[in-house]
A and B are shown apart, each in its own frame.
Chain A
Amino acid sequence: DGGITQSPKYLFRKEGQNVTLSCEQNLNHDAMYWYRQDPGQGLRLIYYSQIVNDFQKGDIAEGYSVSREKKESFPLTVTSAQKNPTAFYLCATSLRQQGSPLHFGNGTRLTVT
């Protein structure tokens, strides 16, 4: 069954701790993305990767880090430098070709207290 798996669904952390969100895909897509969604707002791009071992900052990369060591995996680390980490985080994938649709995972809701 092809798809995008984000885990865990809910994550709770204390302020000052780093936390890593998992995103795994078996769609054989080259491009992967991380978005953040806050209540009543659209999605904002954090980081994206179009090929293994390469990634670019999106619009709100400060306080986040990523790695792309395997095609199937694109983990996102929320560091203690992120001022407002509580949010809904969505991972997406697509083919590299211009105009290819995005496919999304079911998201991870992170709460930092």
Chain B
Amino acid sequence: KQEVTQIPAALSVPEGENLVLNCSFTDSAIYNLQWFRQDPGKGLTSLLLIQSSQREQTSGRLNASLDKSSGRSTLYIAASQPGDSATYLCAGQTSGSRLTFGEGTQLTVNP
């Protein structure tokens, strides 16, 4: 059974800092790895999706990488801004269309 872990659970950084969020998974037979953002009391917004055949995806200041052999994915946020404050969740898709989610990293970017 796929298990997904995110470290750290919470992170507080000053504005402008580059940061990395970590996601690890136990089943390397994943189809893709998806990163989401969740604002308080809201649903999830998809940020990046990395297919199993890809190594990384980029969108603006965000870059996500995937290393299936080590069971790890990272989300890199460049030049962080207060508006980046949110909870970031990763999820791995294995069989069928089911995603297994990590517990999230709560990010606070201080002005």
Q: Please give the residue numbers on chain A whose beta carbons come within 8 Å of chain B beta carbons, in ascending order.
A: 4, 6, 31, 33, 35, 40-45, 48, 50, 58, 90, 92, 94, 96, 98-107, 109
- Which A residues touch B93, using CB under 8 A? 98-99
* Complex interface: stretch among B11-19, B42-50, B60-68: B42-50
Q: Which of B4, B46, B49, B97 contacts A42 (CB 8 A)?
A: B4
Show 21 residue pairs from A and B whose CB-CB distance is below 8 angstroms, ordered by the A residue: A40-B103, A41-B103, A42-B4, A42-B89, A42-B103, A43-B44, A43-B89, A43-B91, A50-B96, A58-B98, A92-B44, A96-B97, A99-B51, A99-B93, A101-B34, A101-B49, A102-B91, A103-B46, A104-B36, A107-B41, A107-B43
Minimum CB–CB distance from A111 to chain B (whole Å) comes to 13
Q: How many A-B residue pairs have CB under 8 A?
A: 64
Pairwise interchain contact B101-A42, C-beta atoms closer than 8 A: yes
Q: Which residues from 75 to 111 on chain B have a C-beta closer than 8 Å to any C-beta of chain A?
A: 89, 91, 93, 96-99, 101-104
Instruction: Check A48/B97 contact, CB under 8 A, given A42-B104, A98-B31, A99-B32.
Output: yes
Of A31, A42, A94, the contact of B102 (CB 8 Å cutoff): A42
Smallest beta-carbon distance B36→chain A, Å = 8
Q: What residues of chain B lie closer than 8 Å to A107, measured between beta carbons?
A: 41-43
Quick check: B51 and A106 within 8 Å, CB to CB? no
